Structure 1
Amino acid sequence: MFPTEPNTICCLFLLCSIFLTSNAAIDRHSLVTRYNPTRNASNPTTPMQVGNGNFAFGADVTSLQTFLPFATMSSWGWKNDSLPPNRTIEDVYNYKGESWYNHGRLVQYDFGGDPEIEQWLTANPNRVNLGIVGLVFLDAQTGLIQNVLESDLSDVHQTLDLWTGIMSSEFTYEDTAINVTTTSAQDISAISVTVSSPLLFPNTSNAFTRLGIFLDFPWGDGSQKFSAPFVGNFSSALFNNHTTTLLDHSEYQAQIKHRMVDAIFYTAVESSTKFDITRDSPVAHRYTILPHSDTNSLSLVISYNSTLPSSLPSSASLVQSSIATWESYWMDGGFIDLITGSTDSRADELQRRIILSRYLMGVNEAGEDPPQEVMYSS
């Protein structure tokens, strides 16, 4: 039976009228880019994102994770915590919860058993934050890392191009412009990051480069499984809970091995520009990348995997792949234009929600295991 509510009938009539009377092709590019999100400050709970359905990278206003440790998540990156003391995997298999009468019969539930095993089952497996990437600011004379806050930046502008999946930021630090562009690969768990600024290049008055990129790796604790939007713990008190190792590297590439309990993850970095990578301290899991050659621009491809990749795409090819994939995403399949010719004041907001929802679905829920989101650790 068809619905008979007046509002429903009006909506159906409106949609039918659109489909029957419109012969012109929808300008999809214009409609999608109309709603490109822009910001001039970080939002503490909702990151800008790029991704591909199996992989998502959340960013603050720098288009990286410089000031807010938003997550880098994947559909494949999971781990199990160690079992509670004096418990074995057999205790997990043999776990039984309480039985309650329900409709005249006993039903066994998954709560009320051994509390240690119950908590372990609740928390495991847990999705891993693969690591964060951000800008590092250095003193020109000493080369020491500076404690820079977002409030130290000025003229901040960030844009997410929904049509291409390219996120970009421009801002000024100490009267010098910095531009950052971040793009997600569409077939692997990787991002391309391009930083352009005179601060990358030591001039006659600066003994050291003043800008670089850091990689940092948190401990993943199952007890924080639902702690959106930040996943993982960067506390120094937990440094000994996991290990990171800088593997063999050259002037153009590096690999870092991150081990948490029995799970191992690899981060690979490649660039067409020479760079140095160093560990900030023997115990911390943070690494700093600085350009080695005279340049005002540094492009890196940073990939995450459970095994070491044999090769990585170039930054340019990764960006072109994102442009082509997202154009196909928007051009193929159904599309609704609610605002062309409409006099309804609600049409623009409804169109905005449709476009942004479709983008977020493409980033978080269009992978191999939908509808599980890769934005947080739920």
Structure 2
Amino acid sequence: MYSRPTAIDRKALVRRHAVEQDSLDPRSPVSVGNGEFCFTMDLTGLQSLPAKYPVGARGELPAGTLLGTQAQWGWHSIPPEQDYTLAGSTVLYDSPRGPVPYVDMAGGLVDGRETESSRAETWLRANPHRLDLGRIAFALPGRDSPGLAPEDVAHPRQVLDLWTGAAASRFTLHGQPVGVTTACHPHRDELGFRIESTALQQGLAISLSFPYGSEAWHYAADWTRPEAHSTRVEELPATGKGREWLISRRLDNSGYQVAVTGAGLELVQTSPHGVILRAANGAEALDFSVHFISTGQGDCLLRGTGGIGFASASASARASASATGKEKAPAPGTAVIEASRTAWPDFWTSGAAVELSATEDPRAKELERRVVLSQYLTAINCSGSLPPQETGLVCNSWRGRFHLEMHWWHAAHFAAWNRTPLLLPALRWYASILEPARQTAKAQGFDGVRWPKQSGPDGRESPSPIGTFLVWQQPHPIHLAELAYRAEPSRELLEEFAGIVFESADFMVSFAHPTARGFELGPPLVPAQESYESIRGTVSNPTFELAYWQWALRVACTWRERLGLPPRDTWLAVADGMVRPKVVDGVYAAIGVEPFTIRTDHPSMLCALGVLPQTDIIDPAIMRATLAEVMAGWDWDSTWGWDYPVMAMTAARLEDPETAVAALLLDAPKNLVLPNGHNRQTDSLPLYLPGNGGLLAAVALMAAGWDGGPDRHAPGFPADWTVAWEGLVPAP
């Protein structure tokens, strides 16, 4: 039966999905963060056992670790041997307009491994890279190896309380109980720790250690080059918070600082890049904070306006009153923990909620768990001032560089779940790279801006046999801006993002070339389904991209109307004149030329009616047949985590809710969601936030419906499911 939108006990909903672990799962550490900064810990509440949480290597490199400390501003470049440019990787490709220059890659990708043929391409793909800012771990300094070993940690028990954003970790160390509370400040890159144990009297200490930057695909830390960076420690004048030390870090052109503050605390530098914290005077508790501070030097960016923004004005006022009133101010670690405990309930009670617990279908419990955990993970990893990398701020993949074709999957759900302020900071970043994006378009003979695919904060493209040929990232800013406007319509938002929308559309219009059949796309081109990389020089008219072009250009025209601007006839002409996608044996092909469809990787043709609403060039009956063929026998091992939400959204729009639910919970290797909520893909890609974001986008559409959809509650769910929801924004 259907339940109407109703008040949901959000605290109970969230808390029943707390992450509880009492044994070491090497795939499933938990994190605390705020969208701009994230700290991932092991069962000790710190990062004491990094080798037990490996990230599988690509190539011959050693394994990395999931236990990262990362910030949106934390980037580094290894000084180049010479002034490398993209010119050496630029190749002319034949197109309907004549030869067009594309940044290619003289090496390539073989079985997922990079085989660059030059140091220039290696450097350009790897720099700038995201930094691991430091490791915070327990230590027993009296031993030959001061770090903890797994056998030191007995009877562990850890609970991440999603409602407060704080993790409580308990374990026994050589017979002595240890309790740790860990949290991240909602608006500062600051961690709060409270550690209670008699073991502190026996020498248990905390180590802070700092690495150099790494060009490795998967690892943000290089511990083998102590001579390449510097760490300087100074004690600051005492304050009411206790003793404070400032650690200044320098890595080539990058620099940042780390402030350590606590009462009853001693700090000693024990190595060129390491310090030890101890409890003073035989104390049985340590209460301290560690604040990572961008100095805006070199590749380390100035921090944005900070945090996930879920602390309401009233919450901030309460925190301020607590700190300045007559009551004694809390210790530094406790102050951070309390700020987290105040802010996270405001996050959970804002925006939308979906509850499935009254549904008898046993799949509902697991789906609800995935939904709650995905909200937490995308809040701490995907709501910052830059588009996120696919592994967020947990660990590196592709050196921390983000993929703009994935930005929709990371962020679109924020608008659907009525949390648009979490979408806007990264959307604003596009304005900062307008000029390089214009230059890319101009060099290829196009108007407007051509957005990069794999980039760092500077917006520079990376050499690639795939990325520079993709085009489906081009309409994403239009789509994201439209979702933001639908959730919170205002002229201010239209005016702020009009330039991004309009210049994106200008490129799209000039990229589509006229033929006797209509306006076509490519060649050269690589579609969202990247299986056609080897024939990129001849690929044209992928189904999804054709529909995306039509829909996004019409949205751009609507934006001009909303702003009272005259129409762009060429935009409408291209949108109305897009060629129809290729149909083979009654189903949509992936691309418009042979081999038409390879049954590996993303079944991206489904996006044309699912991610997108109904357009003129898509026939629902043909799409229904296409979905059925995909569900009957795709190569699931080669798919990715966002493919299952794609199938669910397509099924929902085709009024097949049972298939929608089945797709979301399909038993496939890359649809695995671990106890901590991570959507694991492979050993080298141990989490995949596009899968989490895609799940949230699909569930929002299934629950709240879409323009022109069935006039009934939760139209994308089966009729025998009890679906309670509130606050969602219907999809276009």
Structure 1 length as normaliser, TM-score?
A: 0.82
1:107-160 per-residue CA deviation (whole Å, 9 max, x = no partner) reads 322234793322221111111111010111244xxx876453112221111110
Q: Kindly report the root-mean-square deviation, in angstroms, between the aligned alpha carbons of the 2 structures.
A: 2.3
User: Does the C-alpha gap of structure 1 residues 147 and 326 become closer, same or farther in structure 2, counting only changes over 3 Å?
Assistant: closer
What does residue 185 of structure 1 align with? 185
Work out whether 1:278 is the aligned partner of 2:268.
Answer: yes
Report the CA distance shift for 1:124/1:149 in structure 2 as closer, same or farther (over 3 A).
Answer: same
Among 123, 128, 135, the alignment partner of 1:125 is 128
Show the counterpart of 1:10. none
Match of 1:267 among 230, 244, 258: 258
Q: 1:334 aligns with which of 348, 352, 358?
A: 352
Correspondence for 2:76: 79
- The partner residue of 1:320 within 338, 347, 355 is 338
The 8 Å contact of residues 215 and 286 in structure 1, kept in 2 or not, is answered as yes
Moved over 6 A (4+): none
Does 1:40 find its partner at 2:22?
yes
Q: Secondary structure at the match of 2:336?
A: helix
Q: 1:80 Cα deviation (Å)? A: 1.6
What is the one-letter code of the residue matched to 1:197?
S
State which of 372, 377, 393 in structure 2 corresponds to 1:374.
Answer: 393
Matches of 1:106 and 1:325 in 2, distance apart?
55
Q: How many residues align?
A: 333
How far residue 362 of structure 1 moved from its aligned partner, in angstroms, is 1.1
**Percent identity between the two aligned chains:** 26
Task: Within 5 Å, give how 1:1-378 maps onto structure 2.
Answer: 17-19=2-4, 23=6, 25-68=7-50, 70-84=67-81, 87-88=82-83, 91-92=84-85, 95-103=88-96, 105-112=98-105, 115-139=118-142, 146-201=146-201, 209-221=202-214, 223-224=215-216, 226-227=217-218, 230-235=219-224, 238-249=225-236, 252-273=243-264, 275-281=265-271, 283=272, 285-307=273-295, 314-340=332-358, 342-372=359-389, 373-377=392-396, 378=400
Q: TM-score, normalised by structure 2?
A: 0.43
| Residue 93 of structure 1, CA deviation | 7.0
The amino acid that maps onto 1:232 is: A
Deviation digits for residues 157-201 of structure 1 (CA, Å, limit 9, x no counterpart): 111000000011111111110111110011110100111100112
Give the helix-richer structure, 1 or 2.
2
Task: Provide the C-alpha distance between the structure 2 equivalents of 1:138 and 1:333, rounded to a whole number of angstroms.
Answer: 47
SS in 1 for 2:341: helix
SS in structure 2 opposite 1:256?
strand
- CA gap of 1:355–1:125, structure 2 versus 1, over 3 A, is same
Q: Quote the Cα distance in structure 1 between the aligned partners of 2:262 and 2:235.
A: 15
| Per-residue Cα deviation, 1:14-62 (whole angstroms, up to 9, x for no partner) | 6xx2226xx5x21111111111111223333442100000000001111
Q: Which protein has the larger Cα radius of gyration, Structure 1 or Structure 2?
A: 2
Letter in structure 1 aligned against 2:249: H
1:163 partner letter: W
C-alpha distance in 2 between matches for 1:367 and 1:62: 27
State the alpha-carbon separation in 1 of the partners of residues 90 and 233 from structure 2: 44
1:191-239 CA distances to partner (integer Å, 9 max, x unpaired)?
A: 00111100112xxxxxxx4211100111111x21x31xx521223xx11
Deviates more, 1:115-124 or 1:72-81: 115-124
Specify every segment of 5 or more residues in structure 2 that has no aligned partner in the other structure, as ranges. 51-64, 107-116, 297-329, 401-732
Contact 1:111 1:118 in 2 (8 A): no
Q: Deviations over 1:314-342 (max 9, x none)?
A: 323322211121101111111111112x1
Deviations 1:77-101 (A, max 9, x none): 11221012xx13xx43755522232
Please state which structure has a larger fraction of its residues in strand: 1
Unaligned runs of 5+ in 1: 1-13, 202-208
Task: Confirm or deny: 8 A CA contact 2:89 2:121 kept in the other structure.
Answer: no
Deviation at 1:241, TM superposition (A): 1.6
Residue 280 of structure 1 aligns with an amino acid whose one-letter code is T
CA distance in 1, matches of 2:45, 2:79: 35
Contact 1:180 1:194 in 2 (8 A): yes
Answer yes or no: is the 8 Å Cα contact 1:96–1:108 preserved in 2: no
